[in-house]
Structure 1
Amino acid sequence: MKILLIEDEIKLAGYIRMALEQAGYVVDHESDGTIGLQTAMVNQYDLILLDLMLPSQNGFDILSNLRSFDNYVPVIIISALGTTEQVIKGLDAGANDYLKKPFEMEELLARVRVLQRQHTPKSLSKLKVEDLEIDLLSRVVKRGEKTIALSNREFLLLEMLMINPDKIITKAQILDKVWNMSFDPGSNVIEVHLYQVRKKINDGFEHQHIQTVINRGYILKTSKSAE
């Protein structure tokens, strides 16, 4: 699950980001309202955590702009503005939830999990390709009877490959989806992460699911296509 945090309190943002990443989520952070809106519009997120009192553009306007452009990514407002009128205004503007500051981090994580369950159809909560299976909610990865531990980025990489079995995924596609970065031919960030994923998924098994396609990208190859 990929989350965008739009929060201008840098110290608080650091705590929230650390808690979310420890819980297994991938988090991008913006501290400016206008930049946060631009980031939300050009990238794909599963959830946005949105402060209201932001420089450049407040959270109410960000939310209104998102919805006016038919961007219905789930949004949890996190704000010190906690009157009944403000909560109603935020929910009526299109927020899915409203959490008043200060809050316990465990409560925020619980609310994130609720939205994740609500917006992940049961039929799509697991991906399975032959003997390889990942649970998108519990973040458990198994190959056969072997449970495999992956980092947050590694999990997103594997998810992307499993959604597209037997299809070549380019470096540019991976950078855009997993890192929100433009293609940089000089960067080896993908090679480093894919090496780890490939090693964890392939080691100990005859069929090598994850393969490199030289000068093109990466592929999750089924045993049937390898015949």
Structure 2
Amino acid sequence: MKILIVEDDQKVRKHVKGALQAEGYSVEECEDGEEAQWLLENYSYDLAILDLMLPVKDGIGIVKQIRRKGISIPILFLSGRSEVSDRVHGLDAGADDYLIKPFSTIELLARVRALLRRRSPITPSVLKFEDLEMDLTRRTVSRAGHSIELTNREFELLRLLLESAPNPVNKAIITEKIWDRCFDSETALVNVHINHLRQKIHLPGLPPLLHTIRGVGFTLKHPTDK
């Protein structure tokens, strides 16, 4: 899941970004409204968290503009304005939720989860391929009944592969979905994480499932499959 944070207060922005990344989300950030609108109109995100008052262009103006263009991304406003009229104005402009500063980090994360669930109501809670299983609700992974411990990044990488299996996923898609869009799709970073993931899910006595297709990408498949 990729989230855009738009906040001109660097301390708040870094705090929110760190909290989201700790939960396994891919996060991009910017600090003014004009750049935010350009990013939202030209790149795909699963959620945007916007400060209401921003340099160059405020949050209300951004939301109105992207809604007019048919962009339906969930929007969560952050604002120090606590009057009912301010909240109503933000929601009427096209935002999906409104959180007043200062806010609790656990409440922010709960609202993020709620908005993402609302956007993807038919997402299955368990992903499977052969004897490899991922529980998205509990954030657990197992193979043939054996629990596998993954980092947040490895978890999201495996999730992407499971959602695509048996079709391959190339490096460009992986870097877009799992890392910042600015990363070079040929970076060795992808190979490093693939290798770590391969070592963890390839258990003794079980056939390897994670394979590299030269010039194409990576896929989950049984070794006997062509």
The TM-score, its normalising length taken from structure 1, stands at 0.88
- Number of residue pairs matched? 226
Once residues 79 and 110 of structure 1 are traced to their aligned partners in structure 2, the CA distance between those partners, rounded to angstroms, is 17
Tell me the equivalent position of 1:110: 110
Once residues 174 and 220 of structure 2 are traced to their aligned partners in structure 1, the CA distance between those partners, rounded to angstroms, is 14
Q: Which segment is superposed worse, 135-144 or 53-62?
A: 135-144
Q: Does the CA contact (< 8 Å) of 2:175 and 2:185 recur in 1?
A: no
Quote how far apart the aligned CAs of 1:187 are: 2.0
Matched AA of 1:149: E
SS of equivalent to 2:53 = coil
Quote how far apart the aligned CAs of 1:52 are: 1.2
Tell me the equivalent position of 1:89: 89
Alignment of 1:121-136 (within 5 A): 121=121, 124-136=124-136
Are the structure 2 counterparts of residues 122 and 168 from structure 1 closer, same or farther at C-alpha, using a change threshold of 3 Å? Answer: closer
Provide, for residues 64-102 of structure 1, a one-character-per-residue CA deviation record: whole Å limited to 9, x for no partner.
122222221211111112222221111112211100111
SS of equivalent to 1:169 = coil
Tell me the equivalent position of 2:20: 20
Tell me the equivalent position of 1:59: 59
Alignment of 1:4-19 (within 5 A): 4-19=4-19
Tell me the equivalent position of 2:30: 30
Unpaired segments ≥5 residues, structure 1: none
SS of equivalent to 1:57 = coil
The reply on whether 1:202 has 2:202 as its aligned counterpart is: yes
Are the structure 2 counterparts of residues 28 and 204 from structure 1 closer, same or farther at C-alpha, using a change threshold of 3 Å? Answer: farther
The reply on whether 1:161 has 2:161 as its aligned counterpart is: yes
Unpaired segments ≥5 residues, structure 2: none
SS of equivalent to 2:201 = helix
Once residues 166 and 102 of structure 1 are traced to their aligned partners in structure 2, the CA distance between those partners, rounded to angstroms, is 45
How much identity, in percent, do the aligned residues show?
Answer: 38
Once residues 186 and 144 of structure 1 are traced to their aligned partners in structure 2, the CA distance between those partners, rounded to angstroms, is 33
RMSD: 2.2
The TM-score, its normalising length taken from structure 2, stands at 0.89
Are the structure 2 counterparts of residues 216 and 79 from structure 1 closer, same or farther at C-alpha, using a change threshold of 3 Å? Answer: same
Q: Does the CA contact (< 8 Å) of 1:3 and 1:47 recur in 2?
A: yes
Quote how far apart the aligned CAs of 1:140 are: 2.0
Are the structure 2 counterparts of residues 48 and 183 from structure 1 closer, same or farther at C-alpha, using a change threshold of 3 Å? Answer: closer
Are the structure 2 counterparts of residues 112 and 220 from structure 1 closer, same or farther at C-alpha, using a change threshold of 3 Å? Answer: same
Quote how far apart the aligned CAs of 1:183 are: 7.0
